[in-house]
Amino acid sequence: MDTLYSFLRSPLLSLSGPLVISLVAIIFWFRAGSTHALLERVWRLIAGKADISDKILSEFVQDTRELERFRFMYGLKVETKDELHKLISWLKINSIGIGIAQRAKNWIDIKSDVVITKPNKSYFAVRLIIVILCAIVAAFLATAGSSSSALLQMKESKIWFLTDGKIVNQYFGGWSFDKDNCISSKESIAKTSQFSEEEISMLCKALNNGDLKSFVSKTVEQQRLLSLFFGGADLIWIFIVIIQINSADAARNIFRSVSVPAKVNDSEAGRALETEKPKSTKRRVSNNVINSENLSGESTG
């Protein structure tokens, strides 16, 4: 064993370090939207740590670092300090928690006059359909990956069928045959399966000598690898769509909490104006009556 270790090594272990560093850099860039902090670390390693003498440049670097830190921690996109202050003020005025704001970050645009966008119903419907279709594909891939049979197709007749190397079955169920049927009922196989005579002869020969079983074994391995790859991609896509739905739902809740109070205030103000108008006219009428009475009293006096 010691001799074996002296001659061999695992290349994956030597590649794990660079892969981890690359993954961390990608995650940082995705969250923060920039890599200034990472580049600053590289600069310090090369040139050493040194204070910035220029005051304006020092303030600029400090602001950039703080904005990058905010974007990395909360995921909300702001480019300047003014945008950051505007966003924080908007969150406070509307009593919006940072958690729900993070969920709805894709629908928040602090540069726009309307900070939060309301997702329409079709957005949820389309993504729900995508999730259902991806779930169906995932179920199909799971079945294909766990099956011991290979899904094959004839090049000439284009007929699909399943086989484990011992029995040939119709893909959707129905006819099936094995090497014993090849001896006793070739004509019946041709009628039910729609294979050509040449194809039936090839399959029967492969069933007898074991070539079909060997071919199926290699094909099943390929099916499992493909099912694993596409199944993983399918599950990742489902996860992404669910995150999008969750984000849109959070944005819809924020939109309601921001817009509904404004409508209530406007309606209350309208009712207040309507109720104030009769009062003002009554006061004017009463004042006119009092003035007329005073005038009549003075004239009689």
Q: Where are the domains of the chain?
A: 16-71, 76-117, 123-253
Given a cut of 90, whether residue 107 has pLDDT beyond it is yes
Summarize pLDDT for 184-241 with one digit per residue, the tens.
777 777 778 888 888 888 888 888 888 888 888 888 888 888 889 999 999 999 999 9
Report how far residue 104's alpha carbon sits from residue 118's, in angstroms, rounded to the nearest whole number: 10
Given a cut of 70, whether residue 267 has pLDDT beyond it is no
Stretch among 77-81, 117-121, 153-157 having the lowest mean pLDDT: 153-157
Given a cut of 80, whether residue 298 has pLDDT beyond it is no
- Tokens of residue 32, six digits: 């923060």
Summarize pLDDT for 165-196 with one digit per residue, the tens.
888 888 776 788 888 888 777 777 777 888 88
- Tokens of residue 31, six digits: 């969250």
Higher-confidence residue of 82 and 192: namely 82
pLDDT for residue 290:
42
E strand or H helix at 186: helix 186-193
Stretch among 129-138, 175-184, 270-279 having the lowest mean pLDDT: 270-279
pLDDT for residue 12:
53
Q: Within 10 A of 220 (CB to CB), how many other CB atoms are there? A: 19
Q: Which residue has the tokens 């990742």?
A: 236
Given a cut of 90, whether residue 21 has pLDDT beyond it is no
pLDDT for residue 154:
82
> Do residues 151 and 143 touch, judged by C-beta distance below 8 A?
no
Q: How confident is the model at residue 260 (pLDDT cuts 50, 70, 90)?
A: low
Closest by CA position to 239, among listed 84, 130, 99, 147: 130
CA distances from 54 to 43, 51, 59, 61 (A): 18, 9, 9, 11
pLDDT for residue 192:
80
Summarize pLDDT for 23-59 with one digit per residue, the tens.
788 877 777 777 778 787 877 778 777 677 788 888 8
CA distances from 112 to 19, 86, 109, 117, 121 (A): 39, 11, 6, 10, 22
Q: How confident is the model at residue 283 (pLDDT cuts 50, 70, 90)?
A: very low
Report how far residue 144's alpha carbon sits from residue 135's, in angstroms, rounded to the nearest whole number: 14
pLDDT for residue 264:
39
Q: Within 10 A of 280 (CB to CB), how many other CB atoms are there? A: 9
Summarize pLDDT for 111-129 with one digit per residue, the tens.
888 899 999 999 999 999 9
Report how far residue 107's alpha carbon sits from residue 41's, in angstroms, rounded to the nearest whole number: 33
Report how far residue 35's alpha carbon sits from residue 26's, in angstroms, rounded to the nearest whole number: 9
Q: How confident is the model at residue 15 (pLDDT cuts 50, 70, 90)?
A: low
Stretch among 54-58, 75-79, 278-282 having the lowest mean pLDDT: 278-282
pLDDT for residue 11:
57
> Do residues 71 and 32 touch, judged by C-beta distance below 8 A?
yes
> Do residues 15 and 21 touch, judged by C-beta distance below 8 A?
no
Q: How confident is the model at residue 13 (pLDDT cuts 50, 70, 90)?
A: low
pLDDT for residue 96:
92
The pTM (predicted TM-score) of the whole model is 0.62
